[in-house]
């Protein structure tokens, strides 16, 4: 007779009786089956309660920790930790993204990967869906700085939600500067055609691009342009490079101050860019500012609309910005028309893969 047959019956923690004993089949002691009507009713009630209260609770940690412990930790991942993880040669490349922009993030990342700078990228997620999606695919490269803006309104250009979303930007950049890093900021409706870092020469405090469509001479001045009709310059806040200097920090602090002085209103549906220009104009005397070459960093109003200029400057383009147009579908169509929508055929070149 085998040893198996001489083993004692397995102890049942629910009954303190042998599982083969007839007494254990008593209705008064039998555990409720998960398929019984009572159990199903309890389960349905629990789902209703969770469906009502979880949206108001902001998806608490235990939901993620029980489902996927690898995701829950990112909720408490700090900007300082994230910057330390991604920084290479003292530099961090930053973007700010909400969930609707994930396809643009992937497109931008493909172009950066082709220039071998993707490891420096830090995605500042503006909602938890983006935070978890990026860190699930690319651990450590996304961080959320609480509180998260309203994800439903943060992506519509000209809205108060969009203003609230973009007005967080200088605080993020200032924090990274105070940690001692160089920081490059990009909007994700951009594509890199070449490596921009050779153009960031010298030890200037702030590097930026012109948002005007008027063609400049190839060897134009790198000084801050003169103010326009509104009394300020028209510099783009979409592509900025900052060194951790007193001057760069002063510009960020002034930018934050200008956003507070000129908040969004229904009559004046502003974004963060006018405040950035006022900050540059008001600090120009004490800060070393540097305008990047137009041929390398053209605005979308020039690159996508002046085909003659594009041919004349062929081979000089570094970062293309898909601005001067609004709407996701319109931006994607324009990128496709110019062969710059890379996610269709090259998604696997992105650290995130195919989303």
Tens-digit pLDDT profile for residues 32-72: 555 667 766 676 667 655 554 444 344 433 333 344 556 77
β-strands 190-192, 91-97 pairing: unpaired
**In a domain? residue 238:** yes
**In a domain? residue 46:** no
Q: Residue 91 and residue 334: Cα distance in Å, rounded?
A: 31
What pLDDT score was predicted for residue 193?
98
**In a domain? residue 53:** no
**In a domain? residue 73:** yes
Give the residue with greater pLDDT, 343 vs 27: 343
**In a domain? residue 26:** no
What pLDDT score was predicted for residue 5?
37
Give the residue with greater pLDDT, 250 vs 71: 250
Q: Which residue has the tokens 């990009």?
A: 186
Query: Which CATH number does the domain housing residue 205 bear?
Result: 3.90.550.10
Judge whether 279 and 247 are in contact, CB under 8 Å. Answer: no
Q: Is the pLDDT of residue 1 over 80?
A: no
Q: Which residue has the tokens 């070393």?
A: 288
Q: Which residue has the tokens 């053209």?
A: 298
User: Would you give the DSSP letter of residue 251?
Assistant: H
**In a domain? residue 339:** yes
β-strands 142-143, 121-125 pairing: parallel
What pLDDT score was predicted for residue 100?
93
Chain mean position to CA 204? 26
Judge whether 53 and 121 are in contact, CB under 8 Å. Answer: no
Cα end-to-end distance, the chain, whole Å: 59
Q: Is the pLDDT of residue 10 over 80?
A: no
Give the residue with greater pLDDT, 119 vs 60: 119
Range with the poorest average pLDDT among 199-213, 260-274, 312-326 = 260-274
What pLDDT score was predicted for residue 318?
98
What pLDDT score was predicted for residue 261?
83
**In a domain? residue 211:** yes
Range with the poorest average pLDDT among 2-6, 124-128, 233-237, 293-297 = 2-6
Kindly report whether the global pTM for this prediction surpasses the value 0.75: yes
Domain housing 258: 69-349
Q: State the total domains in the chain.
A: 1
Mean pLDDT of the chain: 83
**In a domain? residue 7:** no
Q: Is the pLDDT of residue 81 over 70?
A: yes
What pLDDT score was predicted for residue 214?
96
Identify the CA nearest to 126 among candidates 156, 169, 158. Answer: 169
pLDDT over 70 percentage in the chain: 74
């Amino acid at each position: 007779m085998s040893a198996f047959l001489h083993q004692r019956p397995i102890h049942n923690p629910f009954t303190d009786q042998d599982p083969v004993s007839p007494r254990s089949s008593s209705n008064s002691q039998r555990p409720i089956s998960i398929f019984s009507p009572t159990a199903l009713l309890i389960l349905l009630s629990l789902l209703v309660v969770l469906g009502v209260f979880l949206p108001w609770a902001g998806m608490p940690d235990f939901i993620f920790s029980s489902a996927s412990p690898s995701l829950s930790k990112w909720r408490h991942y700090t900007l300082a930790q994230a910057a330390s993880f991604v920084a290479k040669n003292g530099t961090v490349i930053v973007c700010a993204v909400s969930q609707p922009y994930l396809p643009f993030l992937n497109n931008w990342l493909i172009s950066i990967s082709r220039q071998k700078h993707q490891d420096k990228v830090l995605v500042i997620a503006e909602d938890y869906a983006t935070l978890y999606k990026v860190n699930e695919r690319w651990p450590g490269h996304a961080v959320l700085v609480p509180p998260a803006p309203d994800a439903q309104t943060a992506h519509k250009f000209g809205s108060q939600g969009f203003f609230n979303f973009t007005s967080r930007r200088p605080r993020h950049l200032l924090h990274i500067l105070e940690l001692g890093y160089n920081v490059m900021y990009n909007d994700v409706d951009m594509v890199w055609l070449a490596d921009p870092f050779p153009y960031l020469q010298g030890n200037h405090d702030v590097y930026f691009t012109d948002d005007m469509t008027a063609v400049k001479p190839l060897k134009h001045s790198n000084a801050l342009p003169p103010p326009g009709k509104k009394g300020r310059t028209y510099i783009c806040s979409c592509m900025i490079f900052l060194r951790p200097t007193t001057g760069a920090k002063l510009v960020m602090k002034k930018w934050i101050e200008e956003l507070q002085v000129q908040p969004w209103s229904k009559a004046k549906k502003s974004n963060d860019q006018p405040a950035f220009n006022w900050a540059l104009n008001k600090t120009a005397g004490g800060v070393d500012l540097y305008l990047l070459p137009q041929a390398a960093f053209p605005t979308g109003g020039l690159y996508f609309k002046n085909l003659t200029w594009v041919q004349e400057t062929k081979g000089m383009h570094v970062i293309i910005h898909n601005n001067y147009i609004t709407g996701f579908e319109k931006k994607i169509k324009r990128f496709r028309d110019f062969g710059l929508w890379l996610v269709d055929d090259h998604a696997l070149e992105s650290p995130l893969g195919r989303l």
